Structure 1
Amino acid sequence: MAARVPLTRDRVVASALVLVERHGVEALSMRKLAAELGVEAMSLYNHVANKDDVLDAITVVVFERIEPPTPSDDWRADAVALADAFRRAALTFPRTASLSLTRQLRSESALPLTEVALDVLRRAGFDAEQAVHALRALLAYVVGTLLREVGSSPAFAGLDPDARADRETTLAGAGLPRVAESAETLSACVHEDEYRFGLTLMVDALAARVPLTP
């Protein structure tokens, strides 16, 4: 008989992540997690405090996947690279992304990334206060586009050609001239293109706000 693998916090968190990716965040419970691990629910509490602790822990896993770029002499390229790294990590776990993007971490896992982002913006020329505002604006954009991306239907993402064609026909025939002329583009959302377009706008806008050096 094979030796039983010991229950550890890492195993509990890894199994929770698998459950969330399989069934969604709303399906996670301590009872289901225990069943996934083949143990009694009470055994979990030797390794995690409660469900909130589990949710925090799987959020940390996603944050730990973010690989900050090596600083360069181009802060704009660094800002884009950091946003891209954040997006890649989130999309690695698409069903966990809504949790990772909106949960307020009680640990300090996000602080090293905050340091990297603030350093990029300080090197751009923002003072300490402005850098925080700029960071929050960038983060709000990236989180918003990611939530739309992971939550959109295949039809909206353009993955169902028939659904897209039907939507385009509906838009074209809505009797609204501006909607009709943009019906092909409105009928689906190419997430990569939308993300790039908006991110470029955000970085351009931040560059325009960099204080002039006396």
Structure 2
Amino acid sequence: MTRSADANAGARRGRPPKGASQLSRDAIVDATLEVIDTGGVTAVSMRSVARVLGVDAKSLYNHVDGKDGLLDAVAEHLLGGVFIPPATGDLRIDLPAIADAFRDRALLHPEAAPLVLTRQLASIEGLAPVEALLGALRSAGCPTEESVQLMRILVASLIGTLLREAQAGPTLGISDTGGIAARQKTLEDSGLPHVIEAAPHLARFDRDAEYEYAVQAATALVLDRIRASHGG
């Protein structure tokens, strides 16, 4: 009886924690996004995600490699849902279309946007937007090296715009009349002539208008560079 009881106890000790057998990478990603949506990226830890799932934090290591693995998994999940529209062969259409598709997924979970925009991923999901941009540029006749340089210009402009949209916008009072007025007064009190002159515009932030302007400006720059390098 004693041996049987001891054996049963040993079996119980060897069982995975409650809920661990139902764990999957998808479930972990969903739980991580829940943590991010509630507390931001800084709230993510193996313990905080395990708490959402109701499991021991150690059980997560069977699916992800620590906190960095959690963050990479979220970024890959969001990028994996980017739908790149078929290329038309016209960069004036294709480049903004790729940017729009990337923006839609990057801002699907605003608190997670920095992961999508700043983490360097080697996965197919992480490289898909890069492949789309390079493909569009190569199809337009750009040499490989020039395509990389132009792609980096586009990506830098897009990431900067989307980071501002995701993080800085509310600080500037996107739709808060009181916030806009307060920001404008601060700028006007700066004593800097050009800042004072531009204060009404600096104080406002129309996310859609600024995004469209940034994409159009970056696209125009790329087209100008291509024309210049091709002698016309």
Q: TM-score, normalized by length of structure 1? A: 0.90
1:117-155 alpha-carbon deviations (Å, 9 max, x no partner): 111111222111100111111001100111111111524
Instruction: Tell me the distance in 2 between the aligned counterparts of 1:173 and 1:196.
Output: 30
1:178 corresponds to which of 165, 189, 194:
194
2:212 maps to 1:196 = yes
Alpha-carbon distance in 2 for matches of 1:174, 1:112: 44
Verify: 1:84 aligned to 2:100, yes or no: yes
Match of 2:109 among 93, 104, 109: 93
Aligned residue in 1 for 2:64:
48
Deviations 1:48-94 (A, max 9, x none): 22221111111101101211011113122100110111111111011
Number of aligned residue pairs: give it: 212
Q: Is the 8 A contact 2:89 2:136 kept in 1?
A: no
- One-letter amino acid matched to 1:130: E
Is 1:169 aligned to 2:223, yes or no? Answer: no
Alpha-carbon distance in structure 2 between the residues aligned to 1:206 and 1:106: 25
In the TM superposition, residue 175 of structure 1 has moved relative to its aligned partner by: 4.0
Distance of 2:76 and 2:106 partners within structure 1: 11
Question: Please, which runs of 5 or more residues in structure 2 have no aligned partner?
Answer: 1-18
Q: Root-mean-square deviation (CA), in Å? A: 2.1
Please report how far the alpha carbon of residue 37 of structure 1 lies from its aligned counterpart in structure 2 after TM superposition.
0.3
Q: Identify, as 1 or 2, the structure richer in helix.
A: 2
Q: Return the alpha-carbon distance in structure 2 between the equivalents of residues 80 and 188 of structure 1.
A: 24
User: What CA distance in whole angstroms lies between the structure 2 residues aligned with 1:125 and 1:106?
Assistant: 26
Distance 2:215 2:138 in 1: 19
Give the greater-gyration-radius structure (CA).
Answer: 2
Using the TM superposition, give the Cα deviation of residue 99 of structure 1 relative to its aligned residue in structure 2, in angstroms.
1.4
Name the structure 2 match of 1:149.
Answer: 165
- Percent of pairs with identical residues: 39
Comparing 75-84 with 40-49, which one deviates more in the overlay? 40-49
